Structure formats: C-alpha cells, structure tokens
A = this chain, B = another copy of it.
C-alpha cells in the first residue's frame, strides 16, 4: 500500500476549553503521520548526523467534524507530489467512518549547517526516490 495509515489517540493536552481538539493539533497529527511514513520508507526527517531539515512552506486544513479526548483516530497520508525542491502530502483524518479533516502540507528542504541562514537545497536523491515509490 502506498499511503500510510497512522493511528493515535487524542490526548488530554490536545483539547481546549471548548472540549474539542484544538485546531493546531490537526497539523501536528498530519506531521506525525508524515514522519511515520518516512520511517516506514526507511528514512528520517531529522538525522542527528546531518543538518538537512524539511520546513513547511504551506499547510492547509478543512475541519469537518470535532475530535474529543480519548478518540482513537487514523491519519491517512499519501505523497501527492515530489519535486526537486518540494514534497506535497495529502491527508485525511478519520474517527471510525467519520472524516474529521482533510489537509495538505508542502515541505521544502534546507541545510541548517549555518544556523543563522538556512539555505534551500535540492531534496537528496535517496529521499526523492523513496518517496516517489510511495506517490
């Protein structure tokens, strides 16, 4: 299967005073799924042995149904596009059969060797190849 289905439970600290998951957490759920997809492909977004990182250049989410404390949710993530300098993912967050949210995240690739001035670089070939295999 090319897409990855990542499961997790809604935690207490994810909620806000409205009694629902705070919207910022949907973006973190999508990012957790992205990193699970990388691990599943034998990769990591943040190796301690290099200074390459993958910051987000855009993120969007449509919230369809509320999520609550202790809900068991599933985030389906698929690689929508792999370019030389950007990767786009599409995500669906579900609680059982209910679609809670749909979102997309686009990431770039930087070298942070010079902490003061991160430099945009091409996505390493090994990463592109592995993720294209999931597209």
On A, residues with C-beta under 8 Å from B are 11-13, 15-20, 22-25, 27-28, 31-32, 35, 39, 44-46, 48-49, 53, 55-63, 66, 68-70, 112, 115-116, 118
Contacts and interface: CB of A to CB of B under 8 A. Distances in A.
Contacts of A25: 24
| Count of identical protomers in the assembly | 4
A68 B44 CA distance: 13
30 contacts: A11-B28, A11-B31, A11-B32, A12-B17, A12-B32, A12-B35, A12-B45, A13-B22, A13-B28, A15-B16, A16-B16, A17-B17, A17-B20, A20-B55, A20-B118, A24-B25, A24-B27, A24-B31, A35-B70, A48-B68, A55-B66, A57-B62, A57-B63, A58-B60, A58-B61, A59-B60, A59-B61, A59-B63, A60-B60, A66-B118
